[in-house]
Amino acid sequence: MSKSGRSGEDSSYAWLVVGTLAVTVTVSYGVLTYTFGIVLVPMQRELGWSRLELTAAFSLALAVWAVGGIGVGALLDRYPPRALLAGGSALAAGLVLAWSQVHDRVQLYLVFGGLGIAMAAVLYNSVFAVVTKWFRLRYREALVAITLVGAFSSFIFSPLAGSLTVEFGWRAALAILAVLLGAVTIPLHAGILRAPPITTLPENEPDDAGQVRAAITSLRFWLLTASLALGSYSWSVVVVQLVAFLSDSGHSLQFAALAAGVVGLGQLPGRLVFIFFGRALRGSRLPAATFGLAALALAILAVNRSDFGVLLFAALFGTSAGMMTLMTASVPAELFGRRVYGGVSGVIYAFSNGARAAAPFISAVIATLPGGYSTLVGSLIAISIVAALLGFLALSGIDAQRDI
């Protein structure tokens, strides 16, 4: 590390960067991902398009994000983050405003294609890349801190978007959120971010292409990757479809938005459980508990759609999602080592992001089958059980100490 990187001033500044990015990523996730599920039904009613056509736009954004994240990571390895993240925030705010004015399908898909680029620039993939260059020994604590704050994103923005939509309509709601997004994130990214002190990996952590190849050709790797991809798929389906599902079940838009917010807030105890009870969740017990809890939550939703049943589902499913986030961050290092963590986790994230991208479209198709949303919920229960089994097999015999 450079001399300035060791100074107290720079150490304090690193945590200022963490605090800044915790705020901006929370707002960005709230507006760019959680708002879509809130305005989906009002958009469908006004525009007269099918839910499948609308969710395909969100799938497009996620697909562009998955691909664009590779290029964004390369840029952040070579250049300071200020221009990229501030520019991404400006692009995001402008495109959310454009989203509020769409009147035909071409406009919608162009806007969401652009939003995918903005997502790649300002969401977790870029934020984590920036933060890890400010820390050598405590970067894991920094990542956990950001994800703990980010857990409030859905809890804040789902009810906010729901209230704005009920009060002013979906177009005005999006315009207000676009202004909020730009007003918060652009000045913070432009004013706080600067070139980090760490531009290369520590000397004792060289990248080893041979070890990456060995890891990604192992059975454990593919079992883990499949498990996390299935979990990511289920999470994306719930984010996009929950409000529409609850609206079709007779709940008000405001209550449905509240439930979506509880799903997001539930990630907070999930991450705390992972941190404080990590010793009890070593090895194969972690994926079994994580995805088993998701299956239980979905089973509750399948049989009990009362207000209490929905909120209980939301809390449990959110807890599972919070556990999955840190499981995704830590398990690759435990199985394959820190030396090849970047290469191995990059492949895992590619599959997980691909699953997230496909989820809105696939779930919309399943919802058109006999049984509608009940069929969709049943499919998610089965997927969660399979994810738990695959994860259990991937980590079978592993009893590693967690370093998060």
What's the pLDDT tens digit per position in 141-154? 787 888 889 888 98
Last residue of a domain, one of 200, 215, 244: 200
Q: Please provide the DSSP assignment of 324-363 as one string.
A: HHHHHHHHHHHHH-GGGHHHHHHHHHHHHHHHHHHHHHHH
Same domain? For 249 and 224 the reply is: yes
Winning range, highest mean pLDDT, from 111-115, 134-138, 193-197: 111-115
Higher pLDDT, 75 or 274: 75
Same domain? For 27 and 167 the reply is: yes
Higher pLDDT, 325 or 399: 325
DSSP annotation of 270: H
Same domain? For 128 and 250 the reply is: no
* Least confident piece of the model among 41-45, 195-199, 337-341: 337-341
> What is d(CA 141, CA 43) in angstroms, rounded to the nearest whole number?
40
Same domain? For 187 and 258 the reply is: no
CB 325 within 8 A of CB 362: no
Q: How confident is the model at residue 210 (pLDDT cuts 50, 70, 90)?
A: low
Judged by phi (left if over 0) then psi (alpha if -120 to 50, else beta), residue 50 lies in beta
Higher pLDDT, 293 or 245: 293
Q: Residue 103's domain spans which residues?
A: 1-200
Sign of CA dihedral 395, 398, 399, 404: negative
Same domain? For 254 and 360 the reply is: yes
Same domain? For 226 and 196 the reply is: no
Higher pLDDT, 400 or 275: 275
Nearest partner of 319 among 297, 303, 334, judged by Cα: 297
CATH number at residue 170: 1.20.1250.20
- End-to-end, the C-alpha distance of the chain in Å comes to 22
Most distant pair of Cα atoms in the chain: their distance: 65
Q: How confident is the model at residue 206 (pLDDT cuts 50, 70, 90)?
A: very low
Last residue of a domain, one of 166, 200, 234: 200
Q: How confident is the model at residue 268 (pLDDT cuts 50, 70, 90)?
A: confident
Same domain? For 230 and 174 the reply is: no
Q: Please provide the DSSP assignment of 206-259 as one string.
A: ---HHHHHHHHTSHHHHHHHHHHHHHHHHHHHHHHHHHHHHHHTT--HHHHHHH
Average pLDDT score over residue span 111-116: 97
Same domain? For 135 and 28 the reply is: yes
Same domain? For 184 and 212 the reply is: no
Q: Which two tokens stand for residue 111?
A: 């806007």
pLDDT of residue 399: 58
47-62: per-residue pLDDT in tens? 999 888 998 899 899 8
pLDDT of residue 402: 43
Same domain? For 185 and 327 the reply is: no
- pLDDT of 401 higher than 70: no
Q: Please provide the DSSP assignment of 78-135 as one string.
A: HS-SHHHHHHHHHHHHHHHHHHTT--SHHHHHHHHHHHHHHHHHHSHHHHHHHHHTT-
- pLDDT of 3 higher than 70: no
SS3 readout for 14-42: HHHHHHHHHHHHHHHHHHHHHHHHHHHHH
229-259: per-residue pLDDT in tens? 999 999 989 988 898 889 888 898 889 888 9
Nearest partner of 247 among 162, 161, 316, 172, judged by Cα: 162
Same domain? For 143 and 257 the reply is: no
Average pLDDT score over residue span 260-273: 85
Residue 145 amino acid letter:
A
pLDDT of residue 10: 41
Mean pLDDT, the chain, rounded, equals 85
Last residue of a domain, one of 200, 216, 239: 200
Same domain? For 207 and 167 the reply is: no
pLDDT of residue 393: 94
CB 215 within 8 A of CB 221: yes
Q: How confident is the model at residue 340 (pLDDT cuts 50, 70, 90)?
A: low
Domain count of the fold of the chain? 2
* Least confident piece of the model among 90-94, 156-160, 289-293, 343-347: 343-347
